[in-house]
């Protein structure tokens, strides 16, 4: 699917493999040595510069915190969608978003608002460090 974005840019709206953190080593690097850590309404964000490899996302939704697979998948879908819609604004950053159990009863729009707050913090950090 192709969508129209501001500034007359047409860009694919997929979430390709190159935009994901895939290995435990990549996740650990961001979680242990992250340069930015932020928390908002049960969502945690860790970010680290990756040397210009583009924007990559990792999602951590532990079964211990969110028991039902349906709920875990819903939360992961919302995180991916929010990230996908905003990724054109960031570059050269690895991001890991994790959740706690208190996210499960939240409505979709509440989760999106919390994610928007985290993305804004990420933007401020990225701009301050550039």
The model's pTM: 0.83
Decide if pLDDT at 7 tops 50. no
Structural domains present in the chain = 16-129 (3.30.230.10)
pLDDT value of position 128: 76
How far apart are alpha carbons 16 and 83 in whole angstroms?
Answer: 12
Per-residue pLDDT band for 52 (boundaries 50, 70, 90) equals confident
Angle, CA 32 vertex, CA 77 and CA 49 arms, to 5°: 70
pLDDT band at 13 (very low <50, low <70, confident <90, very high): low
């Amino acid at each position: 699917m192709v969508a129209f974005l501001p500034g007359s840019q047409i860009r694919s709206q997929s979430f390709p493999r190159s935009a994901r953190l895939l290995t435990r080593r990549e996740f650990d690097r961001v979680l242990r040595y992250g340069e930015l850590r932020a928390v908002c309404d049960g969502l945690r964000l860790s970010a680290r510069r990756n040397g210009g490899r583009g924007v990559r996302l990792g999602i951590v939704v532990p079964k211990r915190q969110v028991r039902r697979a349906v709920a875990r998948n819903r939360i992961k879908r919302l995180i991916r969608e929010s990230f996908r819609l905003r990724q054109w604004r960031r570059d050269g950053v690895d991001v890991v978003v994790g959740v706690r159990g208190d996210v499960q009863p939240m409505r979709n729009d509440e989760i999106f608002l919390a994610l928007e707050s985290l993305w804004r913090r990420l933007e401020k950090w990225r701009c301050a460090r550039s």
